[in-house]
Amino acid sequence: MRYHSPPTQLLLVVVTLLLTTSVRRLVYNYLLQVPPVNENLSYDGYLSTGIIACCCGFLGIFLVNLSGIRFIFVCYTLTNILCAASVVSYYLQGPSAFQFVAMLINSIGYDIGRVATLVVVLAYPGEKWKARALAAYLLVEYFSITMGDVIAMVNPGSTHQRYHLSIAYLCLALLAPIPALAIAPSDQVVRDNGVYLVTPKTTLLTELRQTAKMFTNKYMLLLVPYMFSYPFLFGSAEVEFPNIKAIVLYDAGKLFIVFMSQMLDVRWTGRRTRGLVGLALLIVFFAASIGSTAALRLIKYDLSGIDMTWSHDKIAKFVMGKVFNEQYVLLMTSYFLAGAASSFIELYGYWVMGTLTNDLKSSGRFVGTYHSTMAIGGLIGYQTTNRTEHGAYTSNIPMFIAIPLTCCSLVCMYFIVRRITETNDWTLGRMNYRGYGSQIEPERSSETIVITDVKYVHTTDSTHSRATTR
């Protein structure tokens, strides 16, 4: 059997994502002249696509674990080709049912592909690279959107130019299946030290049973409030971006996760201590972000010019105009802090999940649940505010419900981080040791790692790991 190194596989995933997600985010708003929104990719305020995102995280669990990583990426590239073809069709014959169906299918493909990507990013890098790999992936996503928004706002271009760019987009999309097909099965990925991933065969019934069983796991029960609360808070705050500077500041704040990933990865102290320090910093940024947002909401503005017969959007624009003119510095600061807090919360959540499980399929269940729960929280937050009468004017109520909920979720996260154990440089798979070329000495540890369905006991006097079903 031929073995493949994790860096090579991650490079193939990166190339696939650059030809799919990144290119689409760069040109989509420009090609279809969609007003930029620059919202977090993990949750969606639109009802239809939000419901899709809520379902696709759980669907991604079964598809990733039953079909494998390569199958998911190949399918995602095909949905992206369909999306690119629909854009060309738009310029040839105008809006059509084909375009709507293609966008819907691509939305499903993207959400499931994101689950597969995060599973790979959690599983393949060594322990000392895990947070940095997550940060790199998240930043590519974030800044693809930002650059696309800026392009759409700065240079609308002519119809002729956009048509030719749509053809170039389709050509790039047609290249994406090539690196996707080169991605190896996960059980053929081997580290230099001989540690490799074992992904035992599973069935739909087993996946349904194990996914349901996760919700009886104490770690998952403590994680669910964390997964739900901040997207709900973000949605209920109804963040809008009045200009390019606000968009750029929001994503500039996300660069903070580069520092945080270094702090979580570099072994300046034990992993539990790093996790606790990271949680403390997260709380500081969360408090600063919430404080600036609450201050903007609590300041009294002259709203006498509002006509209560106006639509929700018109009232929102009026209120934003008042805030923009009277509290410009505080408003721009709040965008920067919101970007830093939202990205760090997402990075930290995935990093903690990587410390809880050393099994590829369990990792898929955690990631899929996290993705769907975040989508549910964001969708409920947006819909609660938008369905409140004149929501932009009275939306303080759902936001101030979300703040204590998020605070409680951070307390739950503290109890999870306290249970983090020290591990060696292991993947998220069932640990076996085999040398290709020479006998590899196993990485030594005397700890026990508890995951959702298997307990692995690693001993210092044996060259093999022992696994027992719980």
**Tens-level pLDDT at each residue, the chain (470 residues):** 567 778 888 889 989 988 888 888 777 777 776 655 544 444 455 666 678 878 888 888 888 888 888 999 999 999 999 999 998 998 888 888 888 898 889 888 988 998 999 888 887 777 778 888 888 888 887 777 777 767 766 666 678 888 888 899 899 999 999 999 999 887 777 765 556 665 667 788 888 888 888 778 787 888 888 888 888 887 777 666 767 778 788 888 888 888 888 888 887 888 889 999 999 999 999 899 888 888 877 777 776 777 667 766 677 677 777 777 778 888 888 888 988 888 898 899 888 887 777 667 778 888 888 888 888 888 887 777 766 654 444 556 777 788 888 889 999 999 888 888 765 333 333 333 333 333 333 333 323 333 333 333 333 333 333 333 33
Residue type, 235: G
Model pLDDT, residue 296:
79
Q: Are 322 and 242 in contact (CB under 8 A)?
A: no
Considering only CA atoms, which of 182, 189, 181 is closest in space to residue 360? 189
Model pLDDT, residue 121:
86
* Range list of β-strands (E), 159-268: none
Considering only CA atoms, which of 223, 450, 220 is closest in space to residue 348? 223
Model pLDDT, residue 283:
93
Judged by phi (left if over 0) then psi (alpha if -120 to 50, else beta), residue 238 lies in: left
218-221 long-range contacts (CB < 8 A, ≥24 apart) are 219/356, 219/416, 219/419, 220/366, 220/369, 220/452
* Token pair for 338: 């919101």
The pTM of this model reads 0.79
Considering only CA atoms, which of 179, 177, 180 is closest in space to residue 81? 177
Q: How many whole angstroms from its chain centre is CA 371?
A: 7
Considering only CA atoms, which of 40, 128, 131, 148 is closest in space to residue 375? 40
CA distance 341 to 347: 10
User: Which residues does 402 contact at the CB level (< 8 Å), separation at least 6?
Assistant: 229, 232, 233, 236, 237, 381
CA distance 344 to 240: 20
Judged by phi (left if over 0) then psi (alpha if -120 to 50, else beta), residue 157 lies in: left
- Read off the DSSP letter of residue 183: P
Model pLDDT, residue 438:
33
Tell me how crowded residue 350 is: count the other CB atoms within 10 A of its CB. Answer: 21
Q: How far are the Cα atoms of 28, 141, 149, 190 from residue 34, in angstroms, in the given order?
A: 8, 18, 9, 44
